[in-house]
Amino acid sequence: MELDQIELLYTLALLQVPGVGHNNARALLGRCGSAQAVFQSKQKLLETIPGIGPKVAKAVRQQTPLKLAEQELNFILKNNIQLLHYQQAEFPQRLKRCADYPLLLFMKGKAELNSQRMIAVVGTRKATPYGLGLSRQLIMGLSALNVTIVSGLAYGIDISAHRAALEVGLPTLAVLGNGLSSIYPAAHKQVAERMLEKGGLLTEFWHKTEPDKENFPKRNRIVAGMVDAVVVVEAAQNGGALITAELANGYNRDVFAFPGRVNDVTSVGTHRLIRQNKAALLTHADELMEALNWLPQQEENGARQMQLFIELEIEEQAVLDILGLAPKLSIDQLCMQGEMPLSRLAGILLALEFKGLVKALPGKYYSRTI
């Protein structure tokens, strides 16, 4: 879905209204239809929306949020940052299936946020040589697949995962707990810059936001929500990696953990995850690929089974056959080749997406998943 700059501006402004977090913003958008319409609605109407009330409704009518949004949008345009709205195809669709997804994300780089395979590799900042070796070994084992490696750019396991991905040429994405006007920690600036060539930096925070402690659990929900699986390499008694694992379980994501040596304090958390059946024990990349059906033979068999058991309408099969002729096709190309009106084609594509046979790509392109 293409969104004009005005709607993006108003969505930015909506999130700056005092008392309007993501939940209230969703309520307002659901009632009014768009962010611009929220600001154009009468105060009495806004007061009737559950969770809003007179105070928030009055704040919506103020001009300050719009002025702040204009400043943020200017920074975005000047610094080649992508502003991703939740209604756009480029927005991470895995994350959108989580109840607490953010309405907007900011990204620098070339990362494909809806790539076919995505895993998060997380762990303690005080990683041991054993843990650092495991994270590198895992990513080396995945190098034959085009897996996007997601982590948080922190010291220890995070930065080790990013570096290993760069080494083997895999795209890698860092989800930040601060705005894009700075890199945190600053010691990882060079790695972050290298990541922009094939991966990127992603955050929900405005550009001046500092890396405050309370931001990181919010960051972790994005890490957990936008991937197929979370791998915990080393985790002590407490820490962000365990929060990410818990969130991933809540989102019905696969969670894996490497076992550590019995007496290592940096493996207390991973052992607890395994013991409580909150993570599957992992020792090698092949085990991960097998569990996720990423081995070539498994994927081939899975594709055959999908083709065998999913019943398709005649027009759905026709569109699927056309998409099989090229890696991707635009919606206009599909209209021409399928000889059908756009309104009808849009409904067919949506039905095929629900059946897991087609995926939407940036720029109104589509491709088959099998």
Co-location of 64 and 144 in the same domain: no
Average pLDDT of the residues of the chain: 89
The residue segments making up the domain with residue 28 are 5-78
Co-location of 199 and 282 in the same domain: yes
Give the type of residue at 99.
Answer: A
- Residue range 243-281, pLDDT digits in tens: 999 999 999 999 999 999 888 899 999 999 999 999 999
Last residue in a domain, options 78, 94, 116: 78
101 belongs to a structural domain: no
Co-location of 173 and 239 in the same domain: yes
Over 60: is that where the pLDDT of 160 sits? Answer: yes
Is pLDDT larger for residue 289 or for residue 340?
A: 289
Q: What strands, in cross-sheet order, belong to the sheet with 365-368?
A: 329-330, 365-368, 358-361
Q: Count of domains in the chain? A: 3
pTM of the model: 0.77
Give the model's pLDDT for residue 211.
93
Q: Could you tell me the CA-to-CA distances from 226 to 30, 77, 79 in Å, in that order?
A: 23, 25, 24
Over 70: is that where the pLDDT of 5 sits? Answer: yes
Give the model's pLDDT for residue 33.
87
- Residue range 55-109, pLDDT digits in tens: 888 888 888 889 999 999 999 999 999 999 988 889 999 999 898 999 999 999 9
Over 80: is that where the pLDDT of 3 sits? Answer: no
Co-location of 314 and 254 in the same domain: no
Q: Which pLDDT band holds residue 44 (cuts at 50, 70, 90)?
A: confident
Last residue in a domain, options 32, 59, 78: 78
Residue 7 CB contacts under 8 Å (≥ 6 apart), including other chains = 34, 35, 36, 85
Last residue in a domain, options 78, 94, 118: 78
